[in-house]
Amino acid sequence: MFNDNGSFLLALLEFFLFIAWFMCLFWVFGDIFRSSDLGGVAKTLWVLFVIIVPWLGILVYLIARGGGMQKRQLEQAQAMQTAQADYIKSVASSSGTSAAEQIASAKSLLDSGAITQAEFDALKAKALA
């Protein structure tokens, strides 16, 4: 397959350039679709330009819009972190009633006759555990 070391090195360089182009392609596509300041037509034109003229399209995109790529990526990461924190707070607060609230609820059930004293003691022990 390889006649000499030069052909092997050339194949290795071609493989490296293909992988580098593929990585850049994913980064550029991700940025195109993440960008909120571009409309649908502009996104379509950028995607077509990058697909039709691959290396030139990526380089032109990086020159034209590369300065805001990090900003858009940081905004998305912060939005995801905020959404995750809000979700954790909502889950923790909805099921995280305090032991005193659980005992008070069990006491009201005991007073209304809905549960027995043994059930109240079990609920109280569970709340305090």
Q: What is the pLDDT of residues 39-76, one digit of tens each?
A: 899 999 999 999 999 889 999 998 988 888 888 889 88
Query: For residue 48, what pLDDT is reported?
Result: 93
> 106 Cβ partners below 8 Å, 6+ apart?
115, 120, 123, 124, 127
Query: For residue 95, what pLDDT is reported?
Result: 56
The verdict on 22 and 46 lying in the same domain is yes
Task: Tell me how crowded residue 34 is: count the other CB atoms within 10 A of its CB.
Answer: 13
Number of domains into which the chain is organized = 2
The verdict on 71 and 25 lying in the same domain is yes
The band of 29, judged by pLDDT with boundaries at 50, 70 and 90, is very high
The verdict on 91 and 128 lying in the same domain is no
Q: What is the mean pLDDT of residues 105-111?
A: 88
Tell whether the model's pLDDT for residue 111 goes beyond 80. Answer: yes
Identify the domain containing residue 110 by its residue range: 97-129
pTM over 0.75: no
Query: For residue 125, what pLDDT is reported?
Result: 86
Q: CA–CA separation, 127 vs 75, rounded Å?
A: 41
The verdict on 72 and 108 lying in the same domain is no
The verdict on 81 and 41 lying in the same domain is yes
The verdict on 83 and 21 lying in the same domain is yes
